Structures are given as C-alpha cells and as structure tokens.
Structure 1
Amino acid sequence: MREPVEICRLTPSEAPRLRELNALFGEAFGDPETYGSAPPGETYLRDLLGKDHVIALVALADGAVVGGLVAYELDKFERARREIYIYDLAVSEPHRRRGIATALIERLRTIATMRQAWVVFVQADYGDDPAVALYEKLGVREQVLHFDIPPFRD
C-alpha cells in the first residue's frame, strides 16, 4: 500500500529538515552517535544545501520527514561526464515497504537526467537484503569491494 508522500529537494532555507533527516538516519542505521552527537551549525548546513553537487531529498508525510537520501554529484576525469552517488538512504520503520525509497530514487534519477549524469550508483552492505532487493529492482548489480582508508591524523 503506497501512502501519499511529498518528495522535496532541500534548499538552504530548509536546514532544520536536514537535522530531522539526520535523526532519521541515526535511528534507521542504529548509529545515533554519528548522526546526532556533534551536529553542524546552521550556517554550515545552509552552505552545504546551497552547493549544486549536494542533493538532499526528503519524503514528507503529513509534514513529517519519513525518509530521505543524500547524494553527491561527482565530476569525472576520464570523460566529460558526471556520476551521482547515493551516500545515505533510509525510510523510518513504520513507513517502509510502501514505495518511499523507490520514489526518492526516482526523483534522484530525474535530477540526474536534468544534470546530464551518466549514472546513479549506490552501495549496499552484505546482509541488508531489503536494500539489495530494492537496488536490484532498479539497476544492475556489480560485485565490488569497498575499503575505508583513513587520512593521516596528527
């Protein structure tokens, strides 16, 4: 059953909604520390949302953030093209399995088309079967390894 939701791209004036989305991410990913313990200030969030290459979408139901994604547009060097990477995507538990994640990705695909992006890509964790099923429904699966390489710290 699909529920009526509004999918919106956040603008600099909607920084408070990004805070709501971060809280949702923290809950959905079981990581409230990362998403809520050191929130950036209002100026930082407004500046971030004002950047063309940062795409923050929210799904609103009855005015509340019930899902969202954050993606980044990457300019490529090997060809004159760009790709869009979905960094975070989540829907709150009571609103899952109702087409919200698909609607968010469909809106991102529309933005990708307007931005003349070559592809939208996303990673999923092994064992996250709902995410894998969603992404397989929408795209082609590749077998890759992902590595986190930390920067040097003093």
Structure 2
Amino acid sequence: MRIARATESAQLLAAARLFDDPPREEWAVDFLAAPGHHLFLAYEDGDPGDTPVGFVSGVETLHPDKGREMFLYELSVDEEHRRRGIGRALVRTLADLASELGCYDMWVPVDMDNDPARATYLSAGGKDDGPCRTLTWDLRK
C-alpha cells in the first residue's frame, strides 16, 4: 500500500466511488487550495491504474483558548479492501501530520453503532471519550 497526499482535483475525482457523493471539480479545487485542509489517498501496491482504495481527510481548527487541533472529517476504504489495515494507516498518517503541525489533539465524531469505524479509530491510537450527540443545522434553503 502507498499513501500520498492529494494535490490535484483529478486525484479526488478518480476517487469518486469512495465519497458519499461524487466530488465536484470546483469543490475539489477549493478544498485543496484551502489552508488547513488535508486529504490523503491510499493506493494498492501493484495497481497499474493507480486507483485509490481509500482516503482520509482532515481540517485544522484553531481556537484562542485551546490552540490547534485536527478534525478528522472523513475516512473511507473501498469495501473490498477493508480489514487490511488501510483505514488504520490513513488515520495514523493524518495523526502524524497533525503532530508535525503542532496540533495538541485530533478528534472525530463517530456513531456509537458504527463498530467498524470505532474499531479502526481505536486501533490507530484513538481513545473513546464516551458518547456525545451531534446537532446540525441544514443551511440549504
């Protein structure tokens, strides 16, 4: 497996099947250009098409009383490539970057019934701080 930082929108478009919805060119360009936005892609060794089999994205946040931290925004591994350590390696890659950037921690919200995601995060060094609720605002009118 090879993990590489995404630097071009074409890489994100090539990973379309890994996203919840197909990425849009203009959003991919904006994401990659935004300071503090990070996305790493995993590739299977020996794949001649260099097709991504997983990704992790993170966004740095900064607060006056807490400092810098990394929000693990999304992790995805192609179903046929799961349970091979790809998710763990992607999470560790983002955590290593966060450490290099001076982040004091990294966090991710996860549904309590999503056992595979919880297992992946725990195996990558995450600590379960207990249940919490996420509240959202739908701002699309």
Fold match (TM-score > 0.5): yes
* Superposition map of 1:45-64 within 5 A: 45-61=28-44, 62=47, 63-64=50-51
CA RMSD of aligned residues (A): 1.7
Q: Which residue of 2 is the match for residue 104 of structure 1?
A: 90
Query: Is 2:111 the partner of 1:144?
Result: no
> Any stretches of 5+ residues in structure 1 without a counterpart?
27-34
CA distance in 2, matches of 1:152, 1:18: 24
> Any stretches of 5+ residues in structure 2 without a counterpart?
none
> How many percent identity over aligned positions?
30
CA displacement at 1:21 relative to structure 2 = 2.8
Q: Deviations over 1:17-37 (max 9, x none)?
A: 1123342123xxxxxxxx12x
* Superposition map of 1:20-59 within 5 A: 20-26=14-20, 35-36=21-22, 39-42=23-26, 44-59=27-42
Normalising by structure 2, we get a TM-score of 0.86
CA distance in 1, matches of 2:15, 2:73: 13
Kindly indicate which of the two structures has a greater share of residues assigned to helix.
1
Higher relative contact order (CA 8 A, sep 6+): 1
Normalising by structure 1, we get a TM-score of 0.79
Secondary structure in 2 matching 1:70: strand
